[in-house]
Amino acid sequence: MGLFERFLTVWVALGIVAGVGLGLLAPGAFQLIAGLELAHVNLVVAVFIWVMIYPMMIQIDWTAVKDVGKKPRGLLLTLVVNWLIKPFTMAALGVLFFQYIFAPWVDAQSASEYIAGMILLGVAPCTAMVFVWSQLVKGDANYTLVQVSVNDLIMVVAFAPIAAFLLGVTNITVPWETLVLSTVLYVVLPLAAGMATRHVLQRRSAHAVGDFVARLKPWSVIGLIATVVLLFGFQAQTIVDKPLVIAMIAVPLIIQSYGIFIISYIGAKALKLPHNVAGPACLIGTSNFFELAVAVAISLFGLQSGAALATVVGVLVEVPVMLSLVAIINRTQHWFAPRPASEPARNAAL
């Protein structure tokens, strides 16, 4: 686990502090950046998001999709959790907490935006960090690659309809054209660019993809932190006026993460999956593609919105929660079937 992944929560926290400080000191600068929009897409944030997503997409090997029939029970588990359970439980928790439990402390408009941000997190299954989680639990690397590839293919066609449905059910009006544009801009185009880049690099040498991604990783970190600084810069006054808002958003997100993990882990046990498949299967279902959620929230609701704030709180919450789940998986290996004898002791890192 590299320096970036290990201390992601620290980097995000520092970005939050810097964003709030700069937002209070120079609000005019952030207003200027907010005005740089085209078709409801903030151009500055779009660049930062692409800087984050592009290296992740290059890592995906689409030839792995041909192995989709291998270990179908593990694949079925995460697909059911990702697309039939997780988005709906996230929406339900958002409504429960922000329309009922936290209603006395949150105005109706902010509550709707927080719920929207949570929904966007719930509809975006993890694409990149799951490779890290899989390695930490000694997961089947080939299985993880297949799962990510299949999830991304489904995301291209399912993200916008499910998000629109859940946002509509919770009485949040979203223009379809903006949602579709966001899906194309932050899913379809990065996937296409990643595929093309990977194809070119693989023709050069066997190590070209890894070397190129390693060179891009520092820029990916810069993109993430810059986005966080911008988001919290725009939310600075709200955060100062309502310091408990981040804690309130974090509560249902944490409950959702552990709840989905429990559902996945029980399902993995019932399906008698080997540990090196059960581990990554559960973590894929629990983790989020927070980069996509952040980008879409900004496009739909704006940089200053509660939806954008909720998605960034998701970044802050995810890493410590996922590390705790990694620890649980590693301590419960004996609950699951052993790795098939025909497999090596450990798959090569992706």
The 3-state DSSP class for residue 288 equals: strand
The 3-state DSSP class for residue 140 equals: coil
Q: What is the pLDDT of residue 22?
A: 93
Residue 257 belongs to a domain: yes
Q: How far is it, in rounded angstroms, from Cα 208 to Cα 301?
A: 39
Nearest CA to 109 among 345, 309, 346, 347? Answer: 309
Mean of all residue pLDDT scores within the chain: 83
What's the CATH number where 252 sits? 1.20.1530.20
Residue 106 belongs to a domain: yes
Residue 170 belongs to a domain: yes
pLDDT range class, residue 39, cuts 50, 70, 90 = low
Q: How far is it, in rounded angstroms, from Cα 125 to Cα 86?
A: 9
Structure tokens given for 330: 């590693």
| Per-residue pLDDT tens digits for 65-78 | 666 666 688 889 98
Q: How far is it, in rounded angstroms, from Cα 112 to Cα 167?
A: 9
Q: What is the DSSP letter of 137?
A: T
Contacts of 50 (CB under 8 A, 6+ apart): 186, 190, 223
Residue 26 scores a pLDDT above 70: yes
Residue 51 belongs to a domain: no
Number of domains observed in the structure of the chain: 1
- Of residues 292 and 29, more confidence is placed in 29
Residue 43 belongs to a domain: no
Residue 171 belongs to a domain: yes
Average pLDDT over residues 241-262: 92
Contacts of 16 (CB under 8 A, 6+ apart): 228, 232, 312, 316
Structure tokens given for 167: 């946002």
Q: Hey, which of 17-26, 40-49, 57-66 has the most confident mean pLDDT?
A: 17-26
pLDDT range class, residue 296, cuts 50, 70, 90 = confident
> Would you report the helix, strand and coil content of the chain in percent, each value rounded to 5?
80, 0, 20
Residue 295 scores a pLDDT above 70: yes
Contact (CB, 8 A) for 318 and 290: yes
pLDDT range class, residue 1, cuts 50, 70, 90 = low
Residue 262 belongs to a domain: yes
Residue 174 scores a pLDDT above 70: no
Q: What is the pLDDT of residue 345?
A: 46
Model confidence, pTM: 0.79
| Per-residue pLDDT tens digits for 9-25 | 677 788 888 998 999 99
Q: How far is it, in rounded angstroms, from Cα 248 to Cα 226?
A: 24
Q: What is the pLDDT of residue 340?
A: 55
Residue 10 belongs to a domain: no
Q: What is the pLDDT of residue 339?
A: 58
Q: How far is it, in rounded angstroms, from Cα 271 to Cα 104?
A: 43
Percent of the chain at pLDDT exceeding 90 = 25
Nearest CA to 147 among 250, 244, 75? Answer: 75
Residue 128 CB neighbours (<10 A): 20
Q: b or e along 96-114 (b: 16 or more beta carbons within 10 Å of the residue's beta carbon)?
A: ebbbeebeeebeeebbbbb
Q: What is the pLDDT of residue 99?
A: 94
| Per-residue pLDDT tens digits for 61-115 | 767 666 666 668 888 998 999 999 999 999 999 999 999 999 999 999 999 999 9
Q: How far is it, in rounded angstroms, from Cα 134 to Cα 115?
A: 29
Q: What is the pLDDT of residue 349?
A: 37
Q: Domain of residue 301: give its range.
A: 61-209+243-335
- Of residues 315 and 348, more confidence is placed in 315
pLDDT range class, residue 350, cuts 50, 70, 90 = very low
| Per-residue pLDDT tens digits for 197-223 | 998 998 888 789 888 988 887 787 788
